[in-house]
């Protein structure tokens, strides 16, 4: 079974169950999952530096764009250490693609510049706010990036992901149930839903109280952020596809050699 840090996941569980109506971002989950663990196993020796700049919808879209495993790409934020120890090669390779996406987008100068644009009092949570707004722009302009309507894509993704038969952490199961039934990915189309989600996260998690100050910043820079999205996202799509085409066979083979 995959190694899931009990301390970290109990905090994530508290967060996820506090507000059943609040769509959340990958980074918001990781903020809660990154609590240091006293466990020192071979699956938990790497410091969690993953900042998960892109969000659930983007990860699913990029997985589909690359023809990678959707579940692996969605599950990645809930798996620590070497994914090949716990999952079939195809799923583990999807987790690797997700990690590449996170690393790549965080390295982009536009992302670093935007985080510095946030007032110092809320800069610590700027990554969560950016996560949410990037997925909003993707959902809002979905037809520019995918042939299927968003609702149909979400339906097909849900069908595939719910067929998954390998081990899943409880917090991931809770998150995905709410994501599907409350239609988070469709809600992302509305800017107001993003602002509401940030406000609700701040209410439910006092340590994230600075999120309440993020919506005015996002609203004030809405068009400039949107322009950045249209520069960044096609670049991310291209980089992800190039990484996948170059690395897919070796990633799959790596899993077979560890069986």
Can you give the three-state secondary structure of 22-37, one letter per residue?
A: CCCCHHHHHHHHCCCC
Reference 72, options 92, 52, 58; nearest CA is 92
pLDDT of 28 reads 54
Is 95 contained in some domain? yes
Is 16 contained in some domain? yes
When pLDDT is cut at 50, 70 and 90, the band that residue 95 belongs to is: very high
Is 44 contained in some domain? no
When pLDDT is cut at 50, 70 and 90, the band that residue 9 belongs to is: very low
Choose between 185 and 20: higher pLDDT: 185
Q: How many domains does the chain fold into?
A: 1
131 and 197 in contact (C-beta within 8 Å)? no
Is 43 contained in some domain? no
When pLDDT is cut at 50, 70 and 90, the band that residue 237 belongs to is: very high
Is 45 contained in some domain? no
What is each CA distance from 120 to 107, 136, 249, in whole angstroms?
A: 21, 24, 44
**Residue 212 clears pLDDT 80, i.e. is over it:** yes
Question: Hey, how many other C-beta atoms are within 10 angstroms of the C-beta on 160?
Answer: 15
Residues 166-183, mean pLDDT to the nearest whole number: 92
SS3 content of the chain, % helix, strand, coil (to 5): 70, 0, 30
Question: Hey, how many other C-beta atoms are within 10 angstroms of the C-beta on 127?
Answer: 23
pLDDT of 31 reads 45
Choose between 215 and 23: higher pLDDT: 215
Its domain, for residue 234, covers: 6-37+51-257
57 and 185 in contact (C-beta within 8 Å)? yes
Choose between 49 and 15: higher pLDDT: 15
Is 149 contained in some domain? yes
Is 134 contained in some domain? yes
Residues 33-47, mean pLDDT to the nearest whole number: 31
Is 1 contained in some domain? no
């Amino acid at each position: 079974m995959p190694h899931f840090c009990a301390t970290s996941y109990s905090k994530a569980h508290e967060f996820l169950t506090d507000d059943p109506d609040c769509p959340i971002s990958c980074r918001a989950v990781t903020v809660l999952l990154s609590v240091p663990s006293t466990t020192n196993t071979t699956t938990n020796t790497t410091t969690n530096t993953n900042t998960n700049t892109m969000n659930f919808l983007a990860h699913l879209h990029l997985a589909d764009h690359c023809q990678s495993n959707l579940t692996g790409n969605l599950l990645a934020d809930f798996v620590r250490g070497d994914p090949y120890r716990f999952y079939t090669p195809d799923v583990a390779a999807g987790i690797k693609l997700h990690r590449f996406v996170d690393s790549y987008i965080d390295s982009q100068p536009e992302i670093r510049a935007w985080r510095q644009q946030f007032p110092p009092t809320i800069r610590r949570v700027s990554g969560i706010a950016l996560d949410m707004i990037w997925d909003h722009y993707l959902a809002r302009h979905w037809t520019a990036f995918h042939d299927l309507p968003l609702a149909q894509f979400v339906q097909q993704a849900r069908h595939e992901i719910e067929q998954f038969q390998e081990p899943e952490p409880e917090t991931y199961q809770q998150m995905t149930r709410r994501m599907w039934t409350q239609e988070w990915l469709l809600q992302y189309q509305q800017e107001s839903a993003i602002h509401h989600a940030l406000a609700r996260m701040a209410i439910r998690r006092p340590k994230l109280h600075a999120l309440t100050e993020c919506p005015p910043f996002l609203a004030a820079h809405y068009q400039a952020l949107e322009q950045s999205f249209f520069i960044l996202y096609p670049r991310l799509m291209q980089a992800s596809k190039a990484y996948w085409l170059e690395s897919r066979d070796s990633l799959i083979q790596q899993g077979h050699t560890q069986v």
